[in-house]
A and B are shown apart, each in its own frame.
Chain A
Amino acid sequence: MKKRLEAMNRPSRPRWAVLGEKMLEGVIRLCGISAIVFVAAILLFVFREAAPILFGDRFHLKQFLLSVEWYPTSVSNVRYGTFALTVGSVSVTALAMVIAVPFGLGAAIFVSEFCGRRMRETLKIVIELLSAIPSVVWGFIGLTVMSKLIVAYTAAPVGVNILNGGVILALMSVPIIVSIGEDALKAVPDSYREAGLALGATRWQLVYRVLLPAAKNGLLAAVLLGVGRAVGETMAVLMATGHAVHIPHGILDSVRTLTANIAAELGEAPVGSDHYRVLFLTGLLLFGITFAVNLTAELVVRGIRRK
């Protein structure tokens, strides 16, 4: 009897609140799962477009991956070799990272640890502004400003080449590296800084003895997002690298990247033709490259963590 009375008096939450909470939970769950669904759907779509040629008998995977001959519209001698394009993508990205990683991480360390509050706020706004510049504007800068500079100061016959694309990509990746890297450094608890400084470390000793080891995962993520941006970038490299299919011999050679190739040719390839399907296959290759980069990084991070 007493128990029942208690149960009656205890305030219970209204039915609509309980139901609403359930619904909200469902919506959130849907949002979370949708990320997986989208990635899978994109992959499936690209694969579906590419599949007929991949399993057709006119196609050789070895030739696709390792040949430097890309003659998609030749009448007599059609060749779909993407090796030169892959080399183009890798070389431009590598140069961009050589420039952007030291710059970006250095800037992240400066913004997070060394500069004053007002300076930091100003820098962060400017850096965000830098990352908001559309890639076609960067391509325009590459095509007009950078290329003139390169022709003026080097022996290169044309200004649109790996150097040009690398510098432009570096400028585009730096803001990402800086803002993610700064977040990673800011996430290191202040107690570490205080403990390190209380032990008589200078600011610089603190950075490389404590903060860099503590933030290494976040910093690696920053670099990787920079790489991802550089590998996937299309419009700027299309305009800045010269669009020539061949294996480069130096950074002053023109190249064509996988992304630029797809962007330039997909519009002109008849839907359903071999050329069209090979371009989709190139998309899959690009997907594979970025996936490999991310996977490597994940394994590296885990390796560091286990140690």
Chain B
Amino acid sequence: MSRDDVRKKIEVEDLRLAYGSQEIIHSISFDVRENEILGIIGPAQSGKTSLLRCLNRTIDFCARARVSGSVRVDGEDVRQMKDVFALRRKIGMVAPLPVGLPLSIYDNVAFAPRSAGLTRKVELNAIVERCLRQAALWDEVKDRLDSLGTALSGGQQQRLTIARALSHQPEVLCLDEFSIAIDPVTTMRIEDVLKTLRREITIILVTNLNQQARRLADRTMFLWGGRIVEIDTTEVVFSDNPANPQTYDYVRGVFG
């Protein structure tokens, strides 16, 4: 497969991130290609979540964080961007533990379209239904869209946040260990959704489950201690001879 002619959606160059004096991400460079699923694997404290927060600039809320280097989305440096709200609407983000806003289920999903200025009830209804269907939640909540989103079970809330992340039709969807609070059956259903989305949007999938990356990702990046150990097609990363022997050890669970 010739990959070089594929457009680059996100380009990260010499990205460094420090919280206070402690550097978390040490000069990493990689790119995300349009309409691929990029899996990011690595043990805890590798900087995976921090990396995602650099992409949509939610890192800005952390007063101690210092970022250098460049992150370009569609060729535009996110740190020079004037309209950061448009950037965040372009990038959907699903956090590892569900954060249901204290609103009704309907309002949770309609939040982003409304923030973007959409007010027509018919369109909002359509978006809410489509997103809840995509997140495999519609059948369970269609009769009680007015009840509080925070009253759902953990797994349902997580699917609600996925529906919410899809509601503004993002061009990039970042999933940060989305399956941590969901049962395996629902996980598989959402993975199916991701498979159907894979040719329409770009997906960055941070996961602790190596097999999940193997099932879904076109390419996989192994991040460890704030450095990229290896980034290659998923077949290579999970093969018997990846470029770095550490990768081999990690994906087979012998990593110490």
| A residues adjacent to B (C-beta < 8 A) | 117, 190-202, 205, 209-210, 213-214
Contact = CB atoms under 8 A, between A and B. Distances in A.
Contact of B61 (A117, A197, A213): A197
For the complex of A and B, the 5 pairs showing the least CB-CB separation, nearest first, are A200-B89, A199-B112, A201-B115, A200-B88, A195-B99
Contact of A192 (B56, B89, B102, B168): B102
B102 A197 contact: no
Interface in B48-65: 56, 58, 61, 63
B86 interface: yes
B3 to A, nearest CB: 30
Nearest to A213: B102
Given A198-B56, A198-B88, 17 more contacts: A190-B61, A191-B95, A192-B101, A194-B95, A195-B99, A195-B161, A196-B101, A199-B112, A199-B164, A199-B165, A199-B167, A199-B168, A200-B89, A200-B112, A205-B115, A209-B114, A209-B115
Contacts of B61: 190, 193-194, 197
A91 B161 CA distance: 48
30 contacts: A190-B61, A192-B99, A193-B61, A194-B58, A194-B61, A194-B99, A195-B99, A195-B161, A196-B101, A196-B111, A197-B61, A198-B58, A198-B93, A199-B111, A199-B112, A199-B115, A199-B167, A200-B85, A200-B88, A200-B89, A200-B112, A200-B168, A201-B111, A202-B115, A209-B107, A209-B111, A210-B102, A210-B103, A214-B101, A214-B102
Contact of A199 (B63, B86, B88, B102): B88
Contacts of A198: 56, 58, 88, 93
Interface in B61-88: 61, 63, 85-86, 88
Interface string B120-154: 00000000000000000000000000000000000
B243 interface: no
> A-side binding surface: helix, strand, loop or mixed?
helix
A202 B85 CA distance: 6
Contacts of B58: 194, 197-198
Interface residues of B, number: 25
A192 B58 CA distance: 12
Interface of B: 56, 58, 61, 63, 85-86, 88-89, 93, 95, 99, 101-103, 107, 111-112, 114-116, 161, 164-165, 167-168
Contacts of B99: 191-192, 194-195
B189 to A, nearest CB: 23
B20 to A, nearest CB: 16
A57 to B, nearest CB: 57
B173 to A, nearest CB: 12
B166 to A, nearest CB: 11
A200 B86 CA distance: 6
B54 to A, nearest CB: 13
A130 B123 CA distance: 49
Contacts of A201: 85, 111-112, 115
A192 B112 CA distance: 13
Contacts of B101: 192, 195-196, 210, 214
Nearest to A216: B102
Contacts of A190: 61
Nearest to B63: A117
B45 to A, nearest CB: 20
A95 to B, nearest CB: 33
Contacts of A192: 99, 101-102
Contacts of B115: 199-202, 205, 209
B181 to A, nearest CB: 14
Contacts of A191: 95, 99
Contacts of B116: 200
Contacts of A193: 61
Nearest to B114: A209
Contacts of B63: 117
A4 B93 CA distance: 60
Contacts of B165: 199
Contacts of A199: 88-89, 111-112, 115, 164-165, 167-168
A213 B88 contact: no
Contacts of B89: 199-200
Nearest to B87: A200
A202 B87 CA distance: 12
Contacts of B167: 199
B114 to A, nearest CB: 7
Nearest to B89: A200
